Amino acid sequence: MLKKEYDAVVVGSGPNGLAAAICLQRRGLQVLLLEGKETLGGGMRSAALTLPGFVHDICSAIHPLAAASPLFSQWPLQAHGLEFVYPPLAAAHPLEGGRAAVLHPSLEETVDRLGKDGPLYRRLVAPLAKNWEALGSALLGPLRFPEHPLGMARFGLKALWPASWLGRLFRTPEGRGLWAGMAAHSIQPLSNATTSAIALVLLALGHVANWPMPRGGAQQIATALADYFVSLGGKIETGVWVRSLDQLPSAHALLLDVSPRQLLQIAGPRFTPLYQKQLARYRYGMGVFKLDWALDGPIPFSAPECRQAGTVHLGNSLEEIAAGEAQIWKGRHPRRPYVLLAQQSLFDGSRAPKRKHTAWAYCHVPNGSTVDMTERIERQVERFAPGFRDLILARHSFNALEMEAYNPNYIGGDINGGAMDITQLFTRPALRLSPYTTAARGIYLCSSSTPPGGGVHGMCGYHAAKQALKEIWGLDENSAG
């Protein structure tokens, strides 16, 4: 093998790029990580978006997948400054009238609070929650024959259902609302097949790892991963926007934490016409409209449970959420959007000045939307927390195109790296034996546009690194982590 300047070059410092770089560096290879911005992190960045002293997470905020990641749990990230904060309740779902459903860290407590829907909840969620250690790796990876076929089959039979169908089995507004709020994280109509999968995984993670937040902001995850990588001997360069292969130093392997659109721009001439066509046809999903607030006090939710939850889903009923998400899929903006809200400063005092607070929220919008959803989002918060608007000291917003401008991986504001419907769940971004390989030897895709998709878990990077280790160096792919 000819001498190269580096063994591997990784482009992009999101969770998957950092994970890929660490996996390769841990095997004794010399790895260079390049980041276009001056700050590392991709979707894990934090900044004072509103007023001095208020720390806001720009994209990801609550991190059950990071806490439960089979990959991150192996690494000494605590020694590099990462600390998770755990709220008393993982998530809450308020209903009109002052009631709320809750995702409690305890499975039994959640079952008890759901009353008549408790037995159904137990049947749906308990098998995955109790067997996450065995099943988690298979769920967070490419389509393959599982090590635990019976457990995966039980999960798959439920996961394939459209969430709107399975949600109708719940008999109470609390059960139906809680289910719908979880399923809407799929960022597609709840009538689509496999939308139950994300609801099952997120509910199970509430009992496996709670839904924690990093103390000091999402940036701390990126900082810990980067520090660990450097401690292993890895090299990082920031402020390097990669637009073509000609910019890169010579290496045996190139791993790109980018979208298929960027992959075409950077390396398209090296690919076959068929692979170029597949990348060009890759579909991106709904965008997001994002708001951050600096507040004069905690959000005054009518339901007391919401004041103990790190995450609050605002959408009231299964029917309301399903109708809104269906409208967005068709290119419309609902009057009452489903809103995902996080209130980190309630549990992490480093996020705001004393007696002040932050809040983070977004709703889904059509891809590429420039519509200002501020009024509609704030009206939804006020609906369940009267007096909220009186507390706003400052706000900052990103529409869908501004999200893409901030992070080019978010095509049209799509934070999931592409629509995750059944046609792109395992074949993202193209139909290949390994989704991490490209049509050019030595070039790999390691972004959330590969399985298992969006989220801060690093598993896309891990699986891409495994493939590179196997193909380029003939190393045991099962020891990439």
Are 456 and 59 within 8 A, CB to CB? no
> In the structure, what pLDDT confidence band is assigned to residue 1 with cuts at 50, 70 and 90?
very low
Are the C-beta atoms of 117 and 171 separated by less than 8 Å?
A: yes
Band (pLDDT 50/70/90 cuts) for residue 481 is low
pLDDT (tens digit, 9 = 90+) per residue, 20-61? 999 999 999 999 999 999 999 999 999 999 999 999 999 999
- What is the distance between the alpha carbons of residues 11 and 34, in angstroms, rounded to a whole number? 5
Nearest to 448 by CA among 4, 16, 5: 16
Among residues 360, 343, 347, which one has the least CA distance to residue 396? Answer: 360
- pLDDT at position 478 over 90: no
Q: Answer whether 172's CB lies under 8 Å from 115's CB.
A: yes
- Residues 11, 256: contact at Cβ < 8 Å? yes
Residue 139 is predicted with a pLDDT of 81
Closest CA to 182 of 318, 72, 1: 318
DSSP 282: P
pTM of the model: 0.95
Distance, in Å, from the CA atom of 401 to the CA atom of 210, rounded to the nearest integer, reads: 32
% pLDDT > 90, the chain: 90
pLDDT recorded at residue 422 = 87
- The reported pLDDT for the residue numbered 138 is 80
Which structure tokens are listed for 108? 């039994």
Mean pLDDT for the chain overall? 95
Q: Each residue of 373-425: pLDDT tens digit?
A: 999 999 999 999 999 999 999 999 999 999 999 999 999 999 999 999 988 88
pLDDT of 276: 97
- Sign, CA dihedral 329-334-338-342, equals positive
Strand order in 287-295's β-sheet?
A: 100-103, 89-94, 309-314, 339-342, 357-365, 287-295, 392-398
Interval 206-236: pLDDT, tens: 999 999 999 999 999 999 999 999 999 999 9
**Tens digit of each residue's pLDDT (9 = 90 or more) over 159-210:** 889 999 999 999 999 999 999 999 999 999 999 999 999 999 999 999 999 9
Specify the pLDDT at position 137.
Answer: 81
pLDDT at 143: 65
Max CA separation in the chain (angstroms): 70
Q: Which domains does the chain have, with CATH numbers?
A: 6-36+240-282+417-479 (3.50.50.60), 84-213+286-406 (3.90.660)
For residue range 124-153, list pLDDT tens digits in order: 999 999 999 888 788 888 866 556 566 666
- Give the model's pLDDT for residue 426: 79
Q: What angle do CA 317, 322, 325 make, to 5 degrees?
A: 125
In contact, 352 and 50? CB cutoff 8 Å? no
